Amino acid sequence: MLRIVLALLLALFGPAAVQARSSTPRSTRHSTLRTTRTAKRSVPRTSTKCSSCARDSRGRIARSTTAKHEFQKANPCPSTSKTSGACPGYVIDHVVPLKRGGADAPENMQWQTKAAAKAKDKVE
């Protein structure tokens, strides 16, 4: 009986159908297929864009320059102690990110080293 089924499969579908009907236990075939499928799947990404945030012309969340200047006046640069201008090696960072609903206010800002900012940006 098995020979007749194999002969019919070979005649109808070619050698691929016969290989699928090989002597490999069914549970092994299916577990191999599941492993292969999940290995090729990409992880679905969830959107992290703030839909209610105001955007600039480039699509980025609009930031308040006055809030940034107020923060810098109240918290001088760690490397130069200046209250205005550039601060080498540091950036102004939001403690709670804007895209997570954080306020664009001096109370939500901090000085952060450029290396730490790059590491934080990879996570966010």
Better pLDDT: 124 or 64: 64
Cα distance between residue 104 and residue 70, in whole Å: 11
The whole-number pLDDT of residue 74 equals: 96
DSSP code of 58?
T
Residue 92 is part of which domain span?
Answer: 67-123
Note the pLDDT of residue 24. 53
Q: Is residue 41 part of a domain?
A: no
**pLDDT greater at residue 61 or residue 30:** 61
28 and 73 both lie in a single domain: no
Tens digit of each residue's pLDDT (9 = 90 or more) over 37-74: 545 555 555 555 677 778 889 988 888 899 999 999 99
Is the residue at 113 inside a domain? yes
Distance CA 11, CA 101 (A): 64
Report percent pLDDT > 90 for the chain.
40
- pLDDT at position 13: 72
Instruction: Supply the pLDDT for residue 21.
Output: 53
> Residues 71, 30: one domain?
no
Query: What distances in angstroms separate CA 54 from CA 2, 94, 100, one per listed residue?
Result: 69, 16, 13
Residue 113 is which amino acid? T
- Identify whether 42 is part of a domain: no
Q: Does 119 lie in the same domain as 71?
A: yes
* Paired strand residues for 92: 111
pLDDT of residue 52: 76
What's the rounded mean pLDDT across residues 27-41? 50
Structure confidence at residue 67 (pLDDT): 94
The reply to whether 30 and 76 lie within a common domain is no
In a domain, 94, yes or no: yes
Report the number of distinct structural domains present in the chain: 2
